[in-house]
Amino acid sequence: MQSEYNKIAGKDTGRTIAISDGVFAVAMTLLVLEIRIPVMDGINSDQQLVDAFLSLGPKFLVYFLAFMTTGIFWVGHSAQYKHIEKSDRNLTWINLLFLLSVTLLPFTTAFLGDYTSFKFPIAIYWLNIFLLGITLYANWSYACKKKFVSEDAGASIDRAIKRRIVIAQSLYLLGALLCFFNSYISIAFIIVVQLNYAFVFLSGKK
């Protein structure tokens, strides 16, 4: 009975794509909610309001970091499902584990935004990125192993997708380690890496 259920469960890639896009959309929206308007108590002049606004600088920096992170992984996920034509229960659950990591982003972003100058929140944020990377890699590897990908997805596309994830994760790790010098340098490095990946994607280069 259980084996019969496994044969029919998780076959619809359309529903997988739909729920994935929905989770990404919600996560990207929740990120900005951590940037709260300064409380008016004690603010009696424009200068004080400007100062309060400028104090939100770290929050905006971390928000931009997290938005870029979410966007990069959404693009990566979309690139995979351009070629993944079939699915099964296992692949569906691998994708759900990937989405679990996506839903953690608002929390790890808020944690980093509140304690930007500390090392531990950067480690937690990097762990979130690592979980995103490893589940995205597992998603593609499993799809290839089970021959769920389209015929035009040859060895070159397989290598390109895996290579992109491995290199990106290595650079993210390097960026996280920079927090031992300065947390803002660490964040800035990761943002530069992400901007490079976004630029490469927009320019059409591989």
Q: Which of 52-56, 64-68, 174-178, 193-197 shows the lowest mean pLDDT across its residues?
A: 52-56
Question: For residue 4, what pLDDT band results from cuts at 50, 70 and 90?
Answer: low
Write down the pLDDT at residue 206: 42
Structure tokens at 49: 């309001």
- What value does the mean pLDDT take over residues 63-74? 91
Token pair in block for residue 111: 């944690």
Q: Mean pLDDT throughout 100-110?
A: 93
Q: Are 55 and 84 in contact (CB under 8 A)?
A: no
Residues 6+ apart with CB under 8 A from 117: 183, 184
**Which residue, chain included where needed, has tokens 């390109």?**
160
How large is the average pLDDT for residues 151-177? Answer: 87
Identify the burial level of 161 via C-beta atoms within 10 angstroms of its C-beta, where 0-12 means exposed, 13-18 middle and 19 or more buried: buried
- Looking at per-residue confidence, does 18 or 37 come out higher? 18
Cβ neighbourhood burial of 159 (10 Å; 0-12, 13-18, 19+): exposed
Q: What is the DSSP letter of 38?
A: P
What mean pLDDT is predicted for residues 113-137? 93
Extract the tokens encoding 159: 């290598």
**Average pLDDT over all residues of the chain:** 85
Rounded distance between C-alpha atoms, residue 168 and residue 161, angstroms: 11
Instruction: Give percent above pLDDT 70 in the chain.
Output: 89
Q: Is the pLDDT of residue 136 over 90?
A: yes
Max mean pLDDT among 8-12, 25-29, 61-65, 191-195 falls in 25-29
What domain range is 161 assigned to? 2-203
Domain count along the chain:
1
